[in-house]
């Protein structure tokens, strides 16, 4: 495998994790949103997926962002009859977003992003050292 291919493969991992972090950020931003109409559904959590792709140029398998799917878990209910989105029984539906899970997912995505960045940094350093050796 060419040393530059390692950089390109790590870059695809960074792109996939960056996409994942955007989805997680959207979930966190909407964690407290409610429906705009009485009895309506609030924001539904999204989940980022990955897919394996074969890159013909690199002749290697790489990771790519996959589909963004909706989490179909149940909404939690809160009794608040004065809320504009309350149903006829006085309950409002809250998003199915758990901020603790989202923060753990964000941390995992961040660490994966950083690991790919370290691969790029190390590979660039090795390439630089190789050039220095060839100059001597």
CA distance linking residue 82 with residue 92, whole number of Å = 10
On whether the CB atoms of residues 50 and 16 are closer than 8 A, the answer is yes
Asked whether the whole model's pTM tops 0.95, one would answer: no
Tally the domains of the chain: 1
Q: What is the structure's pLDDT at 1?
A: 53
pLDDT at 33 over 60: yes
pLDDT at 26: 97
CA distance 39 to 27: 21
* Pick from 7-21, 26-40, 112-126: least confident: 26-40
Domain that holds residue 108: 3-135
Phi, psi of 88, deg, nearest 5: -65, -20
Instruction: Give the angle subtended at the CA of 35 by the CAs of 32 and 41, to the nearest 5°.
Output: 105
Report the pLDDT value the prediction gives residue 133, as an integer from 0 to 100. Answer: 93
pLDDT digits (tens, 9 = 90+) for 70-104: 999 999 999 999 998 998 999 999 999 999 999 99
């Amino acid at each position: 495998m060419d040393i530059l291919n390692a950089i390109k493969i790590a870059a695809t991992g960074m792109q996939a994790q960056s996409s994942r972090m955007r989805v997680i950020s959207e979930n966190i931003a909407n964690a407290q949103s409610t429906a705009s109409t009485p009895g309506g559904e609030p924001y539904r959590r999204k989940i980022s997926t990955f897919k394996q792709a074969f890159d013909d140029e690199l002749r290697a398998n790489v990771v790519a962002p996959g589909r963004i799917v909706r989490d179909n878990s149940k909404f939690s209910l809160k009794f608040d009859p004065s809320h504009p989105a309350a149903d006829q029984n006085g309950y409002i539906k809250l998003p199915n977003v758990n901020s603790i899970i989202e923060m753990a997912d964000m941390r995992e995505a961040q660490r994966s992003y950083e690991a790919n960045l370290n691969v790029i940094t190390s590979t660039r350093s090795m390439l630089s050292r190789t050039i220095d050796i060839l100059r001597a």
